[in-house]
Amino acid sequence: MQIKYTRGKPVDKERLAQYLEAAKGPNRTMKQFAEECNVNPSTLSRIANKKLVGGSSEALMVAIFEHADPASGVALENLMDANGMVPAGSIRPHNFGFQERTVSEILISEMNRRVQATVTVPLRRQFRLSRTMGYTPDIVFESDTFGGNGLWAIDVVPMAHFMARRDDDTSEEMVRRRAQMMNRRRFFDRLSRYATIGYFWEEELPQRFSYVLLDADTFKDIIAEYGEQKFKGDVSLIFVDLNNLKIVDEFIFPRQNGDTMEKFFTVPVDGKITEDDDWLINIDDIKLGGDI
């Protein structure tokens, strides 16, 4: 079975540059190696010069491995590890904090790119659930452009697909179904908190509320399971590809009045969609911490 990787720690630029040089070998220029890997030479140059901004993609690590000099001894797991990627089943709870901070930096960067007005970021705000309990989303943006009370809360939903199999006898299908049910429950738990705030303290409810999912299959499953739910306010799902450090898709739940908020993070900016990686955050600057 092919190992699935996910981003779980900062990039080791020094080690990644060493692996790249070894994989290139003595008989090829970096430009020639880039052509064989089917990437722009500047992409490999940033790695070689330790000027990498953000992590490289899983696909690039595979390409470097597949075209590596046979005498280099560079293994795929070495490249992945230096690139800050770990086997999905090896994620531990403290790594979720790193992932949440990574997602937060991506969203803050995108928000600043897209909002042509003053945005206060990030606010840490707790919303009441009961007399002693509260709900603190990962980020709360504030801007007059959002309408209503000007608040946009965003919460990252931890995914159960990072869990390892419990025993050797468990089938792949059973693991998938367990993860699917766990992810549905985790999402519903957060959705019920949103509903509680809206029912008892509607005046405090953020104008917009988004849930971030880190897995494509879970994103599709949550839409299939809950996509017909209607809300008074603006509620959406955001799919973030953590391996490539970018927002891939978003889903907008319908409002009870029949309207639907327009998509925000996946529409063109200034008439075009930016596909280069110059805007990516430097994940070495991300600090661990925060609530899970």
Model pLDDT for residues 140-150, shown as the tens digit of each residue? 888 888 888 88
Range with the lowest mean pLDDT among 121-130, 189-198, 258-267?
A: 121-130
In terms of pLDDT, which residue wins out, 19 or 93? 19
Please tell me the predicted confidence (pLDDT) of residue 65: 95
Please tell me the predicted confidence (pLDDT) of residue 163: 47
Domain boundary among 20, 55, 87: 87
Residue 51 pLDDT > 90, yes or no?
Answer: no
Question: Are 135 and 63 part of one and the same domain?
Answer: no
Domain boundary among 69, 87, 105: 87
Question: Are 265 and 244 part of one and the same domain?
Answer: yes
What would the 3-class secondary structure string for 130-156 be? CCCCEECCCEEEECHHHCCCCEEEEEE
Question: Are 144 and 199 part of one and the same domain?
Answer: yes
Mean per-residue pLDDT for 162-174?
A: 59
Question: Are 141 and 61 part of one and the same domain?
Answer: no
DSSP string spanning the chain?
-PPPEEE-S---HHHHHHHHHHHH-TTS-HHHHHHHHTS-HHHHHHHHTT---SPPPHHHHHHHHHTS-TTS---HHHHHHHTTEEEGGG--HHHHHHHHHHHHHHHHHHHHHH-SS--EEEE---EESSSS-EE--SEEEE-GGG-TT-EEEEEE---GGGSPPSSTT--HHHHHHHHHHHHHHHHHHHHHHHHHHHHH-GGGS-SEEEEEE--HHHHHHHHHHHTT--BSSEEEEEEEETTTTEEEEEEEPPBTTS--PPP-TTS-BTTB---SSTT---GGGPPP-S--
Tens of pLDDT, residue by residue over 254-276, are: 999 888 889 999 888 764 333 34
Question: Are 78 and 128 part of one and the same domain?
Answer: no
Listed residue (261, 278, 127, 262) closest to 205, CA to CA: 127
Question: Are 77 and 135 part of one and the same domain?
Answer: no
Please tell me the predicted confidence (pLDDT) of residue 104: 82
Please tell me the predicted confidence (pLDDT) of residue 281: 39
Please tell me the predicted confidence (pLDDT) of residue 57: 81
Instruction: Tell me whether residue 277 is in a domain.
Output: yes
CATH of the domain at 31: 1.10.260.40
Please give the tally of structural domains in the chain.
2
Question: Are 20 and 123 part of one and the same domain?
Answer: no
Nearest 5 degrees, angle CA 19-CA 74-CA 26? 65
Mean per-residue pLDDT for 100-108?
A: 81
Question: Are 213 and 135 part of one and the same domain?
Answer: yes
Instruction: Tell me whether residue 57 is in a domain.
Output: yes
Question: Are 125 and 246 part of one and the same domain?
Answer: yes
Residue 23 pLDDT > 90, yes or no?
Answer: yes
Please tell me the predicted confidence (pLDDT) of residue 2: 60
Quick one: pLDDT band at residue 292, thresholds 50, 70, 90? Answer: very low
Please tell me the predicted confidence (pLDDT) of residue 282: 41
Instruction: Tell me whether residue 290 is in a domain.
Output: no
Please tell me the predicted confidence (pLDDT) of residue 48: 92
Please tell me the predicted confidence (pLDDT) of residue 95: 59
Please tell me the predicted confidence (pLDDT) of residue 162: 44
Instruction: Tell me whether residue 292 is in a domain.
Output: no
Please tell me the predicted confidence (pLDDT) of residue 242: 80
Query: What domain range is 114 assigned to?
Result: 93-285
Question: Are 140 and 280 part of one and the same domain?
Answer: yes
Instruction: Tell me whether residue 102 is in a domain.
Output: yes
Please tell me the predicted confidence (pLDDT) of residue 253: 95
Q: For residue 230, which phi and psi values (nearest 5 degrees)? A: -115, 140
Residue 246 pLDDT > 80, yes or no?
Answer: yes
Quick one: pLDDT band at residue 74, thresholds 50, 70, 90? Answer: very high
Please tell me the predicted confidence (pLDDT) of residue 54: 62
Question: Are 34 and 98 part of one and the same domain?
Answer: no
Quick one: pLDDT band at residue 239, thresholds 50, 70, 90? Answer: very high
Domain boundary among 28, 61, 87: 87
Mean per-residue pLDDT for 109-138?
A: 79
In terms of pLDDT, which residue wins out, 53 or 130? 130
Instruction: Tell me whether residue 291 is in a domain.
Output: no
Question: Are 66 and 177 part of one and the same domain?
Answer: no
